[in-house]
């Protein structure tokens, strides 16, 4: 009997693992389980809707899903529908690829006020993740604040600034596109604790801030390095390009377009202010020490706003008694191995960093571990899980079902959009009849 593997999570970590497993062990059988009826994790629910080309990798994952050794079982949540212990009883190996979906907290007073969102929530909202459909951020204000200096912060700021026309041909959740289109936002502040040279965002994303129909991007020229400052070697090309674009934005005037995006550096949030809901954020100016540490200067200022989106990273979540490393906020593992027969891949293993492709080597590593299990493989895998889920009356969404959901989403699209996403699980299942 061939090796049987259950992968929990159908994002890049899960799919790269499945692809490596069937390549290295052609007679294995792989079941990819996801709590949502839709596959591909953050490719669907994280990657910005106006960056459709970054989602094309899903077509390659689709080929893996349709390989004869592989099954997708959507709408199956661990441990709600099946526990890790049960999966381990049924499969020779179990791989956790559950991502890092929990927002890190700012750790400042007032962050529980209504109107303060983490990036997973806010990005999930505009990407139609069923968990966040009801978020209903109050966009009736003139000012939004985004905290963070990575590409996710730029995604949020850019999408808040885009017009309905600019997102028409995307798959942004229709309710979010409508809400943002009519929002009277005039100022969007993006705050980074460090300087422009330390920012994690990449030049392609910075460049887009010069191409917005309705928004002009502003940078204080005083924070930019002089032409004579040597850029650090690491990422030098990208940094140079970043600084080039930021210099352009520093020459902009604020009155050129109705919306102003303020890319601000050397400032960190110290308190969110308001009664029940956000009315302002208090920021403190920072400076960098010679060894690159951020220190507060004691100089504070307030920005009135009704919405704060904290894009300061996420963490994985403990799952069903699997050993969890609280300090590093991910599953305890040694190079992807939690213990014999239990492995971890993607952001659940490494934490939330890198691109889709960064998860690729995790899959190869899982396959290496799995190869060692082949001689002793004996567990029944798929048949046992099917029986268990049938006994529990779980409505499993197969890959063929997903293709029907996808076809319904595509049929509902208009104005050149790739799809009109369903926003609830009942609607997705309803489309299957």
Ligand X SMILES: Cc1cc2nc3c(=O)[nH]c(=O)nc-3n(C[C@H](O)[C@H](O)[C@H](O)COP(=O)(O)OP(=O)(O)OC[C@H]3O[C@@H](n4cnc5c(N)ncnc54)[C@H](O)[C@@H]3O)c2cc1C
Q: Which is nearer to ligand X, 77 or 256 (CB)?
A: 77
- Which lies closer to ligand X via its Cβ, residue 366 or residue 370? 366
From the CB of 77, what's the least distance to ligand X, in Å?
5
Query: Nearest approach, Cβ of 347 to ligand X (angstroms)?
Result: 4
3-state DSSP call for residue 397? strand
The closest alpha carbon to 377, from 78, 29, 82, 85, belongs to 29
Q: Are 265 and 283 in contact (CB under 8 A)?
A: no
Per DSSP, 169 falls in state: T
Q: Among residues 29 and 55, whose Cβ is nearest to ligand X?
A: 55
Nearest distance from C-beta of residue 381 to ligand X, angstroms: 17
* Smallest distance from ligand X to CB 289, Å: 30
Can the peptide bond before residue 206 be classed as cis, meaning omega within 30 degrees of 0? Answer: no
Q: Minimum CB separation from ligand X for residue 357, in Å? A: 6
Contact footprint for ligand X (CB under 6 A): 8-14, 33-36, 41-42, 46-47, 51, 54, 77-78, 97-99, 123, 152, 155, 319, 346-348, 354-356, 358-359
Residue number, 341 or 352, with CB nearest to ligand X: 352
Tell me how far, at minimum, the Cβ of 171 lies from ligand X, in Å. 14
Q: Which CB atom, from 5 or from 8, has the smaller least distance to ligand X?
A: 8
In this structure, the dihedral spanned by the alpha carbons of residues 41, 45, 49 and 52, taken in order and rounded to 10 degrees, is 10
Nearer to ligand X, 42 or 65 (CB): 42
146 vs 218, which CB is nearer to ligand X? 146
Beta carbons within 8 Å of 349's beta carbon, 6+ residues apart: 13, 96, 330, 331, 333, 336, 362
Nearer to ligand X, 8 or 308 (CB): 8
Nearest to 433 by CA among 412, 411, 410, 408: 408
Q: Which is nearer to ligand X, 46 or 115 (CB)?
A: 46
DSSP 297-320: EEEEEEEE-SEEEE-S-EE----T
Minimum CB separation from ligand X for residue 403, in Å?
17
- Closer residue to ligand X, CB minimum distance, 60 or 372: 60
Q: What is the spatial distance between Cα 115 and Cα 145, in angstroms, rounded to a whole number? A: 10
- Residues near 383 by beta carbon (within 8 Å), at least 6 away in sequence: none
* Helix (H/G/I), strand (E/B), else coil: 366: helix
Q: How far is the CB of 220 from ligand X (least distance, A)?
A: 27
Q: Which alpha helices (H) appear in 134-234, and where do they start and end?
A: 151-161, 164-167, 174-182, 203-207
Closest by CA to 281, choosing from 259, 309, 320, is: 309
Q: Assign residue 114 a region (left: φ > 0; alpha: ψ between -120 and 50; beta: otherwise).
A: beta
- Least gap, CB of 280 to ligand X (angstroms): 26
Distance CA 55, CA 91 (A): 31
Order of strands, sheet of 143-147, starting from the edge strand that comes earlier in the sequence:
116-118, 307-310, 143-147, 187-191, 259-264, 215-219
Closest CA to 45 of 97, 119, 150: 119
The smaller minimum CB distance to ligand X, of residues 78 and 259, is found at: 78
Shortest Å distance, C-beta 115 to ligand X: 20
Between strands 307-310 and 294-304, the pairing is unpaired
Contacts of residue 291, defined as CB under 8 A and 6 or more positions apart, other chains included, come to none
Q: How far is the CB of 153 from ligand X (least distance, A)?
A: 9
């Amino acid at each position: 009997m061939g090796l049987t593997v259950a992968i929990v999570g159908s994002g890049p970590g899960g799919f790269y693992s499945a692809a490596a497993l069937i390549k290295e062990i052609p007679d294995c059988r792989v079941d990819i389980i996801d709590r949502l009826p839709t596959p591909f994790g953050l490719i669907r629910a994280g990657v910005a809707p106006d960056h459709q080309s970054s989602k094309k990798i899903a077509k390659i994952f689709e080929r893996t899903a349709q390989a004869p050794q592989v099954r997708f079982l959507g709408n199956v949540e661990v441990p709600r529908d099946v526990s890790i212990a049960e999966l381990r009883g049924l499969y020779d190996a179990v791989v956790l690829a559950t991502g890092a979906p929990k927002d890190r907290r700012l750790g400042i007073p007032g962050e529980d006020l209504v109107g303060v969102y983490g990036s997973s929530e806010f990005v999930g909202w505009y990407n139609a993740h069923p968990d966040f459909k009801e978020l209903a951020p109050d966009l009736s204000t003139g000012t939004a604040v985004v905290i963070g200096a990575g590409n996710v912060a730029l995604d949020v700021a850019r999408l808040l600034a885009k017009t309905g026309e600019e997102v028409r041909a995307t798959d942004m959740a229709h309710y979010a596109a409508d809400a943002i289109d009519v929002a009277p936002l005039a100022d969007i502040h993006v705050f980074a604790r460090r300087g422009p040279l330390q920012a994690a965002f990449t030049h392609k994303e910075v460049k887009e801030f010069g191409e917005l129909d309705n928004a002009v991007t502003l940078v204080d020229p005083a924070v930019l390095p002089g032409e004579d400052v040597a850029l650090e070697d690491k990422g030098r090309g990208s940094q140079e390009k970043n600084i080039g674009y930021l210099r352009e934005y520093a020459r902009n005037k604020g009155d050129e377009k109705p919306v102003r995006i303020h890319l601000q550096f050397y400032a960190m949030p110290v308190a969110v202010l308001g009664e029940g809901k956000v009315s302002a954020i208090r920021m403190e100016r920072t400076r960098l020490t010679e060894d690159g540490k951020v220190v507060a200067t004691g100089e504070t200022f307030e920005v009135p706003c009704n919405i704060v989106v904290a894009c300061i990273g996420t963490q994985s979540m403990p799952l069903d008694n699997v050993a969890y490393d609280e300090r590093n906020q991910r599953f305890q593992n040694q190079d992807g191995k939690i213990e014999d027969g239990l492995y971890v891949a993607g952001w659940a293993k490494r934490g939330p960093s890198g691109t889709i492709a960064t998860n690729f080597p995790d899959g190869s590593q899982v396959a290496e571990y799995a190869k060692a299990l082949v001689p002793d493989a004996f567990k029944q895998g798929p048949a046992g899980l099917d029986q268990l889920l049938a006994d529990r009356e779980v409505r499993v969404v197969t890959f063929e079902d997903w293709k029907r959901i996808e076809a319904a989403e595509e049929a509902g699209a208009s104005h050149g959009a790739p799809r009109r996403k369903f926003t609830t699980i009942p609607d997705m299942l309803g489309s299957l009849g």
